[in-house]
Structure 1
Amino acid sequence: MTKLGERLSPDRVKLGVNCTLWWNDDFPSIDAGISFGQAVSEMALAGFQGCSIGHKYPSDPAVLKAALDLRGLQVSEPWTSTYFTIGRMYQKTVDSFEETLAHIRALGGTELVVAEFGASSHLLPIDVFANRPVFTDAQWDALTSGLETLGKIAQSAGMRLSYHHHMGTGVMTRAEVDRLMASTSPELVSLLLDTAHLAFAGDDPLDLARAYADRIGHVHLKSIRPEVVSRVRDEGLSFQRAVELGVFTVPGDGAIDFRPILEVLADADYRGWLVVEAEQDPNIANPLEYAKRARAYLTDVLGW
């Protein structure tokens, strides 16, 4: 075990992997026909302790928990989209969040991840940069007050809420993350650090980690391929096309150096999930191969 691994030891952090290596939940056409059973078996085979929830997973929490328990896996997070910045969606957003919370509690999970998708460009076949929303002050107020409401609901259930900044949304850049953090209570809203989404947006994930080290509640470890980022910007491509072209990849591949980011987390005594991601086309990038590559990289860095 390295000195870094001693500070980010197995009793402090858990290593998870996102099912977006095996299929894409945003774009169902990005799929190689891999079943739920094969995917979670490969996650365990690659050496991970947990995983996110995807659309191919059993909806019955008892069935899902049994399948994960069989493979020694836990749920690292669910995903809930929020829509506080658009009309007549407040109560539907809260109701959806409470349904997700109940589901994750039944699975023994403690983490909740949200992102505001009101007017997002990331699901549409349009330029992901040029057409993303820019929130008005009123929309910012609606978003931050709504997130604090969700944070209180999570807190009352003994769970933690982390906000995921995301390409194509109104909270995409460092400046927007800064505004969100400044406008919400640290006790109610933590930050999900997604290294690749911030780098894709044009900002530095290491600087973000340093700025909010004591507020990071969840981490997605994902790298980027800069040549694809440049093409997306230059040609005005959609988020889906960026994924298909391989804009994302796993730690140990691509342009992001994760060692200093992990050092920052260790210095802040981070405790929680480190979740490997790579929204790649499984027909091109073999999921098990890339999962094992990422796990080998983390073993080299952490020593376990």
Structure 2
Amino acid sequence: MKAKLGMSPIAWWNDDLLELSEDVSLEECLRQSRSAGFTGMEMGRRFPNDPDVMLPILKAADVTLCGGWFSGTLAADGDLAANKDRIRPMIELFKAVDAPCIVYGEVGRSIQGDRSIPLATKAVLSGDEMKAYARKLTEFGEWCAEQGMPLSYHHHMAAVVQFEHELDAFMNHSGEGIPLLFDAGHMAFAGGDVLRVIDKHHARISHVHTKDVRMAVLESLDWNRHSFLDAVALGAFTVPGDGSLDFGAIVRKLADHGYEGWFVVEAEQDPRQSPPLKMAQIGYKELMRVLTAAGYSVETQGFPKS
């Protein structure tokens, strides 16, 4: 089985909490992650949107683009046409740089980006609303795939698909046209059983975020007072090897079901308290340990050699 290791630039610059960011250039971010061993990087706010500009930067860093977040609004407006118009330039960019997928993150009716709104007040879809939403996402995912770029759906804290039972409902009512991004950290934060989720939904998992959590921080949260961004600022997330989750068991479970592809470290933290290069090195070392033990062969080549 083959695996690829990538990172998210959120360890260097946070898009929602700008104070949790270092004044680090894109080139330095890529250099640090590549020096730690990672061959891929997901897109962040300091990436250029022109493939003719992005490709030389990726090539110089020996790194490929391994994904990137799209803020979808289908849970709020159900407007397929508007979301197609917004994602179309991203599809063309990702095709031009040979990225594997676009990460669909739902921001419609979500409170994930508002620090003033506590976790306990997130929106809850009715059964009929979830069914309609899942079907709309399937249609959108099928359209994106027809344009040449598949989506991967990101279940997420503070969004309409947060809890395990919400993910189960979404998966039950959606189709193969919308593959799943499995994020162990978000599911653990929501109180779900991360191994059970893999067992149930492995056939649709196309992308993996290896986000770890600090259980002591999660257990200290007051969901009636703290927001998702409060939890981030308090240090709820970290990299594999520095948190509470058993990534050996998680990776073995994915291997048991034949998952191959990207394992991406996406751990938003304060870079002053958790230096990104150091955290990248810790995450890479732990992932290499558990992936090798599970029988994976990890790809070491970054930017494709012409």
Q: Which TM-score applies when normalising by structure 1?
A: 0.91
Deviation string 1:149-201 (CA, Å, 9 cap, x unpaired) is 22212322343321100010110000010011001112x11111000001111
Residues paired across the two proteins, number? 293
Whether the aligned pair in 1 keeps the contact of 2:8 and 2:42 (CA below 8 Å) is: yes
Shift of 1:88: 7.0
Alignment of 1:219 onto 2:219: no
Q: Which residue of 2 aligns with 1:242?
A: 231
Q: Which residue of 1 aligns with 2:13?
A: 23
| Aligned counterparts, 1:54-65, within 5 A | 54-65=44-55
Q: Whole-Å Cα distance in 1 between the matches of residues 121 and 224 of structure 2?
A: 14
Aligned to 1:190, which of 179, 182, 185?
179
Whether the aligned pair in 2 keeps the contact of 1:83 and 1:90 (CA below 8 Å) is: no
Whether the aligned pair in 2 keeps the contact of 1:252 and 1:294 (CA below 8 Å) is: yes
Whether the aligned pair in 2 keeps the contact of 1:122 and 1:128 (CA below 8 Å) is: no
Deviation string 1:48-80 (CA, Å, 9 cap, x unpaired) is 010100001122222111111111111111211
Q: Whole-Å Cα distance in 2 between the matches of residues 247 and 269 of structure 1?
A: 30
- The runs of 4+ residues in structure 1 deviating greater than 4 Å are none
Give the letter for the 2:144 counterpart.
A
Q: Which residue of 1 aligns with 2:96?
A: 106
Q: Whole-Å Cα distance in 2 between the matches of residues 169 and 123 of structure 1?
A: 10
Aligned to 1:291, which of 260, 275, 280?
280
Shift of 1:91: 2.4
Whether the aligned pair in 2 keeps the contact of 1:128 and 1:167 (CA below 8 Å) is: no
Over the matched positions of the two proteins, sequence identity in percent amounts to: 34
| Aligned counterparts, 1:8-47, within 5 A | 12-47=2-37
3-state DSSP of counterpart to 1:130: helix
Whether the aligned pair in 2 keeps the contact of 1:41 and 1:71 (CA below 8 Å) is: yes
Q: Whole-Å Cα distance in 1 between the matches of residues 18 and 81 of structure 2?
A: 27
Shift of 1:85: 2.1
Whether the aligned pair in 1 keeps the contact of 2:213 and 2:238 (CA below 8 Å) is: yes
Whether the aligned pair in 2 keeps the contact of 1:46 and 1:295 (CA below 8 Å) is: yes
Shift of 1:290: 0.2
3-state DSSP of counterpart to 1:282: coil
Q: Whole-Å Cα distance in 2 between the matches of residues 250 and 275 of structure 1?
A: 10
Give the letter for the 1:183 counterpart.
H
Alignment RMSD, CA only?
Answer: 1.7
| Aligned counterparts, 1:102-251, within 5 A | 102-186=92-176, 188-233=177-222, 236-251=225-240
Q: Whole-Å Cα distance in 2 between the matches of residues 93 and 193 of structure 1?
A: 23
Alignment of 1:301 onto 2:290: yes
- Higher mean C-alpha displacement, 129-138 vs 20-29: 129-138
Whether the aligned pair in 1 keeps the contact of 2:237 and 2:267 (CA below 8 Å) is: yes
Q: Which TM-score applies when normalising by structure 2?
A: 0.91
